[in-house]
Structure 1
Amino acid sequence: MIIFICGGSKSGKSALGESFSKNLHKEGELIYLATMKPTGEEDLKRIENHKKDREGTNFLVFEVLEDIEKAEEFIKETDTVLLDSITSLLANEMFKEKIIFNSEEKIIKGVKELSKKAKNLVIVSDYIFNDSIVYDSITESYRKSLGIINCNIAKLSDVAIEASYSLMSIYKGEEILKNEGLI
């Protein structure tokens, strides 16, 4: 099963992803693919908060800051995988030594490979499209790439959810979640 969760900053999307992952996990490993590369104090605090949230869980945590397709090397077909987040993964891929445009194809391909390998894949991404600010061309390129990735993942997914204030709106796959006893 593939579950896609998208939401704004501090929307509860990561907690929701962790909850779905833990509830889906019946066999194999429970794997957390962490993608955030800290760039400042706020990022370090966020990473620490996520680590505290996972204390006492059975997550095996792997930091995969780029080349997400390589994660399939240690994932088995019985594993449940939480990929958190596409937003950070895109930033890491796009803003290396030089700006790499069109990183979305690589990420989409990598996610598809993971989805074929793992029994369950829960994917978290950000919704950054609801403001009316006109950004510079590089930021707009990033936003466009994230939009393309999110649309492709939503299409690939069995379930698509928007998280907002720790609530969820299910846009795809509500019946699947009910049948699995997840809602």
Structure 2
Amino acid sequence: MIPYGRETEEKINRHRQMRAKKNFQTEECFTNLSEFVKNMKLQKNSDKKEVVLLECMSNLVANELFDETGVNTILKKKYPALSNNEVVEKLTDYILNGVEKLNDIYENIVIVTNEVFSESTVYSNEMRMYKQVLGKVNCELAKAAVEVEEVIYGQAVLYKNEKVKCMNKKAGLHLIIGGAYQGKLEYARKLYPQIQWADGEIDSFEKIQNAIGIYHFEIYIKRILKNEKLDIKEIIEQIFAKDIQKVIICDEVGYGLVPVDSFERYYREQVGRICTTLAKQADKVTRVVCGIGEKLK
């Protein structure tokens, strides 16, 4: 964590004091993890089995993206014509390369990250890019990890060891939820490689109504709500009027601060209510975190 002021300095000191009693040796690395690891390698006792705690990935990504010492500053100067998607890919690769080098010299690594993907608020391009990079990094780390856990109010939920089985071919509803950039669509496509998909953000209402798989379902709901001529209840009921298999992918948008805008509050509430109803009717409900599915129902 970069000490921007007294508050963050006090937080860093508090963390160090807490860990000092647990035999932690704390080092600060704000950017350029790869170079930092080189120096650690020179100091490391090769005969000693050590555990490294990297905390926290969400701060490291923010530093590389927004701080003047971060790799994004270098990329802008070296490759001014890069698109946002190309920047996201290069940042992701750069950060993961640092983690790989850390993994090369230590037997065990524990990485702490954050869930910042489940809000309905529309952010700036910079914040959207930050979420994309962190989401991709989290997904790649989860693929490589031996164990993946999410801690909710101090309770650890294990994700990594779940054995995912394909849903039977019979008619039914599979609701797949999770934060933005968590790999929900990729996860679903592996389960259902043959079905046709509709994009709730850009496809026609008719195509969405007839599709077996629907992603960006939360944006589809927003499109309906913005059109005063449409009845949200009637349209949602029409989707499930036919006795056919349906796979619905929906972002969780109910976390974080309550939006100031009245429509955004109403929209967030409606997504929550609709997904609650769908979850009750569904044959299967899965929550995807870092590309890993956890069976809820």
Please report the TM-score for the alignment, with normalisation by the length of structure 1.
0.69
Q: 1:53 aligns with which of 9, 18, 28?
A: 18
What does residue 131 of structure 1 align with? 119
Partner SS for 1:62: coil
Note if contact 1:72-1:114 (Cα within 8 Å) is conserved in structure 2. yes
Separation in structure 2 between the aligned mates of residue 67 and residue 50 of structure 1, nearest angstrom:
22
Alignment of 1:82 with 2:53, yes or no, is: yes
Separation in structure 2 between the aligned mates of residue 70 and residue 60 of structure 1, nearest angstrom:
19
Deviating more after overlay: 159-168 vs 45-54: 45-54
Q: 2:141 aligns with which of 153, 156, 160?
A: 153
Q: Runs of 5+ in structure 1 lacking a partner?
A: 1-35, 175-183
Separation in structure 1 between the aligned mates of residue 159 and residue 6 of structure 2, nearest angstrom:
35
Q: Which amino acid aligns with 1:43?
A: T
- Report the RMSD for the aligned CA atoms in angstroms: 2.0
What does residue 77 of structure 2 align with? none
**Shift of the alpha carbon at 1:65?**
1.0
Separation in structure 2 between the aligned mates of residue 47 and residue 56 of structure 1, nearest angstrom:
15
Instruction: Kindly provide the CA deviation profile for residues 8-40 of structure 1, in whole angstroms up to 9, marking residues without a partner as x.
Output: xxxxxxxxxxxxxxxxxxxxxxxxxxxx11224
Partner SS for 2:21: coil
Aligned length, in residue pairs: 139
**Shift of the alpha carbon at 1:173?**
4.5
Partner SS for 1:39: coil
Separation in structure 1 between the aligned mates of residue 131 and residue 3 of structure 2, nearest angstrom:
20
Please report the TM-score for the alignment, with normalisation by the length of structure 2.
0.44
In 2 relative to 1, CA 121–98 (structure 1 residues): closer, same or farther, beyond 3 Å?
closer
Instruction: Kindly provide the CA deviation profile for residues 117-153 of structure 1, in whole angstroms up to 9, marking residues without a partner as x.
Output: 2111000111101111110110110011100000011
Alignment of 1:93 with 2:64, yes or no, is: yes
Q: List aligned pairs for 1:13-32, cutoff 5 A.
A: none
**Shift of the alpha carbon at 1:51?**
1.8
Taking CA–CA contacts closer than 8 Å with sequence separation of 6 or more, which of the two structures ends up with the larger relative contact order? 1
Identify, as 1 or 2, the structure richer in strand.
1
**Shift of the alpha carbon at 1:166?**
1.1
Q: Which amino acid aligns with 1:71?
A: F
**Shift of the alpha carbon at 1:98?**
8.3
Partner SS for 1:90: helix
**Shift of the alpha carbon at 1:61?**
1.4
What does residue 4 of structure 2 align with? 39
Separation in structure 2 between the aligned mates of residue 164 and residue 46 of structure 1, nearest angstrom:
22
What does residue 165 of structure 1 align with? 153
Alignment of 1:71 with 2:36, yes or no, is: yes
Note if contact 2:16-2:26 (Cα within 8 Å) is conserved in structure 1. no
Separation in structure 1 between the aligned mates of residue 143 and residue 36 of structure 2, nearest angstrom:
22
Q: 4+ residue stretches of structure 1 with deviation over 3 A?
A: none
Note if contact 2:31-2:69 (Cα within 8 Å) is conserved in structure 1. no
**Shift of the alpha carbon at 1:66?**
1.0
Note if contact 1:71-1:114 (Cα within 8 Å) is conserved in structure 2. no
